[in-house]
Amino acid sequence: MRLTTKGRYGVRAIFNLASSYQNRPVSIKKISKEEQISPEFLEQIFFKLKKAGIIRSLRGPGGGFVLNKKASEISIKDILDAVGENVFPVPCTDRDAEERCEREDICSLTDVWKQFADIIIEFLSNLTLQDILDKNGKKYYDSLKEGQDFTI
């Protein structure tokens, strides 16, 4: 399984929002600059995150985006789902797929892939922004203050 740029950038941008500003509105321009993400691409990602209820926007001077939930209530899986990221390692593990693998019923590895997918989904579902903030927040915040390049 490999996450697309959209999924990685979505998680990075939300982590930036959660870690840097203590629920004060942050502009796309600021996050774009700090994360080195195209502002146009970030707007597309934030549209999806807003639609999913993960973030909300505030208008006016000093406006921008804030988390719409506590960091402890937002899982990495929530973010990936919101931006349309597929976290299934192989097609037969996607239970919502319109087309099923023609070998699924006879394949010896189907159960292995499904167990693997379940582990990934459980891990991402149980890992919250708060967990990452608790583990890496200070290091990340310090790198932003110093202008260092740092990714998660």
What count of Cα atoms within 13 Å lies in the side-chain half-sphere of residue 148?
A: 9
CA 46 to chain centre: 11
What pLDDT sits at residue 27?
92
Average pLDDT over residues 9-26: 87
Q: What is the CA radius of gyration of the chain?
A: 17
Q: Domains in the chain, ordered, with CATH?
A: 5-85+129-146 (1.10.10.10)
Tell me the pLDDT band of 21, cut-offs 50, 70 and 90. Answer: low
Q: Report how far residue 73's alpha carbon sits from residue 111's, in angstroms, rounded to the nearest whole number.
A: 31
pLDDT, tens digit, for every residue of 65-109?
999 999 999 999 999 999 999 888 888 888 777 777 788 888 899
- CB under 8 Å, gap of 24 or more: what pairs does 133-141 form? 133/15, 133/18, 133/19, 133/71, 137/19, 140/15, 140/16, 140/19, 141/19, 141/20
Q: Report how far residue 92's alpha carbon sits from residue 114's, in angstroms, rounded to the nearest whole number.
A: 8
Q: Report how far residue 102's alpha carbon sits from residue 92's, in angstroms, rounded to the nearest whole number.
A: 9
Q: Give 152 or 142, the one with higher predicted confidence.
A: 142
pTM of the model: 0.83
Average pLDDT over residues 62-66: 90
**DSSP letter at 86?**
-
Tell me the pLDDT band of 150, cut-offs 50, 70 and 90. Answer: very low
